[in-house]
Structure 1
Amino acid sequence: MPVPTRSTKIVKRGMKKTSRRRAKLVLVLGGASSGKSQAALELAGNAAPKAFVATGQALDREMAERIRRHQRMRSPDWETMEVPVDLAGWFRKQGQEYRAIVVDCLTLWLSNLGATGVRDDAVNDHVTDLLRAIRRTQALVLLVSNELGLGLVPLGRSARRFRDVAGRVNQRIAAEADEVHFIVSGQTLRLK
């Protein structure tokens, strides 16, 4: 009799039935310009097809250049999607099409949610929805996020509030993730 594997299980009468494998979730954290985006691309490996889901928006000249620089980092086999707000919806509609997905980045996503009027107390619901949608795919999903808690306490109230929200979101996703990597000066430290 065959031994059950992660993708199959034995059912009554010794027949195999394929079961649904859930996504592998990896959180890639680091400071600004730490190399976290490049690390996420490398961690994605050679799986194909693969999607790069960008949450950044070119709202000014500096951000437009930053986006172009990130685009040049990626090889042509990455399909780029621009999804500034509805990440969960994108995963539900298109997540099954890919074997590897990099979302860059959660911090900009949180900022975009705030800009659309999502209150801090509703962010957790959006994170729950996103995690459920991710787990329904069978892809390797790498979420890139900024670690904002290593610097000085921000002077402004809104900056402190945003840092706290981002910190809670990072903690929640790290707890759910299968792996967590912290990037410092282009060097990877696996935390989980």
Structure 2
Amino acid sequence: MGGRITLVTGGARSGKSNYAESLAKAEKKNVAYLATAIPFDEGMKDRIKKHKESRPKIWTTYEGYNDLYKMIPKIKREHEVILLDCITIMVTNLMFEEDVNWDKISHEVIDNIEEKIKDQIIKLIKAIREEDIWCIMVTNELGMGIVPENRISRIFRDIAGRINQLIAREADEVYFTVSGIPMRLK
């Protein structure tokens, strides 16, 4: 069958990263932590620092958000498990690579941007399957709140939601975390 994909989703501060880390730690295998965040302000720098401090020192951290599928063969040579945290930030970074006016963007351009992001995810899933590695992906569940007031937030929510659906369909197992409690959905 090839590689294994586990998706861990939940709201902000729901415990999804902690649960994903516990899954990786339980395997007692060589883990690669694939971080997608860009430290753009002091708050994000502090968050990244705390995440680094909380995970085992023996884990190797890789950073990036674009063309992650190209990293999978290299990671596989040295690791048995990948913890990718997080898909939502990856989607954000890929969206903001585009030089567009988000308030005036056409639906056609939005669809093209979403297709580029979808292509990245499809290639990532394919690489994981081909390299026969276990990848635990963390993402945010964004569809349980009110409809965002501004356009860019609605566009982001819609793209991220459809990307989450794509990954969940392809995943071998899916967990939803609420208040630190994981529930297996698939």
Q: TM-score range by the shorter chain?
A: 0.7 to 0.9
- Return closer, same or farther for 1:154/1:131 CA change in 2, 3 Å cut-off: same
Instruction: Report the counterpart of residue 102 of structure 2 in structure 1.
Output: none
From 166, 173, 176, give the equivalent of 2:167. 173
Runs of 4+ in structure 1 deviating by more than 6 angstroms, as ranges, are none
Q: Map 1:10-49 to 2 at 5 A.
A: 22-44=2-24, 45-49=26-30
In 2: Cα distance, 1:46 partner to 1:191 partner: 21
Aligned length: 172
Instruction: Report the counterpart of residue 13 of structure 1 in structure 2.
Output: none
Instruction: Report the counterpart of residue 60 of structure 2 in structure 1.
Output: 79
Instruction: Report the counterpart of residue 164 of structure 1 in structure 2.
Output: 158
Q: Map 1:89-104 to 2 at 5 A.
A: 89-104=70-85
Q: Map 1:66-145 to 2 at 5 A.
A: 66-117=47-98, 119-145=113-139
Matched residue SS, 2:27: coil
Shift of 1:121: 3.0
Instruction: Report the counterpart of residue 40 of structure 2 in structure 1.
Output: 59
User: Alpha-carbon deviations, 1:37-60, whole Å to 9, x = none?
Assistant: 110011122332111100001110
Q: Is the 8 A contact 1:95 1:134 kept in 2?
A: no
Unpaired segments ≥5 residues, structure 2: 99-111
Instruction: Report the counterpart of residue 185 of structure 2 in structure 1.
Output: 191
Q: Is the 8 A contact 1:96 1:138 kept in 2?
A: no
Q: Which has the higher contact order (CA 8 A, sep 6+)?
A: 2
Shift of 1:92: 3.3
What's the C-alpha RMSD, in Å, of the aligned pairs? Answer: 1.4
Q: Which amino acid aligns with 1:167?
A: G
- TM-score with structure 1 length normalisation? 0.85
Matched residue SS, 2:131: coil
Structure with the greater alpha carbon radius of gyration? 1
User: Alpha-carbon deviations, 1:141-192, whole Å to 9, x = none?
Assistant: 1000000001111001110111010000000100000000001111000000
Q: Which amino acid aligns with 1:110?
A: V
